[in-house]
Amino acid sequence: MFTARHWIDSLGLEAHVEGGYFRRTFQADHRPRTRTPDGERYTLTSIHYLLTHWSPVGHWHLNRSDILHFHHHGEPVTYHLLHPDGRHSTDVLGQDPQRGQSLTLAVPGGVWKASHLTAGDHALISEAVAPGFDYADMTLGRPDTLTTLFPDHAELVHRYCRPAPPQPGAPSPT
């Protein structure tokens, strides 16, 4: 049986800062790097990415590069996209086109993205990023910033923002 734990162990996945688990599977070392306004990047990188029932959310984040997502195994994943013009859209990445699911999802650079496992144990996807992924090109969503940018979607913003770490000296929750 293919479970979340199976994929983490078999693929050597590690916790990801945006939620879920990942491992880089490719970077285009054999090609000249691409120049971007923020420095040179690989022309292409890819990762495996896994959401699980205990880590079901890919929290709001913004990438400068374009990303293709491919569903491989498990349950569907719902993506929430906040576009620069303020529009919200959703897409479901999964194995059943008859239910409106897509095997592939393209998210252009500059679009805020959050995702969540809709049900079940896990969803295994992969992502191809061009120009290649660099942490310097990713911004994690903060509720104050995103609600300013997208005031009509404040509830959605708060639902999928990564909780802030406790402040030093703050009382711990009971």
Eight-state DSSP code of residue 99: G
Residue 166 lies in a domain: no
pLDDT tens-digit readout, 100-146: 999 999 999 999 999 999 899 999 999 999 999 999 999 999 999 99
Residue 76 forms part of a structural domain = yes
pTM of the complete model = 0.90
Q: Domain range holding 34?
A: 4-160
Asked whether residue 103 is domain-assigned, the answer is yes
User: Is 93 in contact with 127 (CB distance < 8 Å)?
Assistant: no
First to last CA, the chain: 38
Write down the pLDDT at residue 174. Answer: 38
Q: Whole-angstrom Cα distance, residue 167 to residue 23?
A: 30
CATH number at 16 reads 2.60.120.10
pLDDT tens digit sequence for 46-69 = 999 999 999 999 999 999 999 999
CA atoms of 6 and 3, how far apart (whole Å): 5
What value does the mean pLDDT of the chain take? 93
Question: Is 173 inside a domain boundary?
Answer: no
Torsion, Cα 91 97 98 99, to 10 degrees, reads -30
Tell me if 174 is assigned to some domain. no
pLDDT more than 90, % of the chain: 89
The alpha-carbon radius of gyration of the chain (Å, integer) is 17
- Domain assignment present for 169: no
Tokens of 143: 């509720």
Residue 114 within a domain = yes
Tally of structural domains, the chain: 1
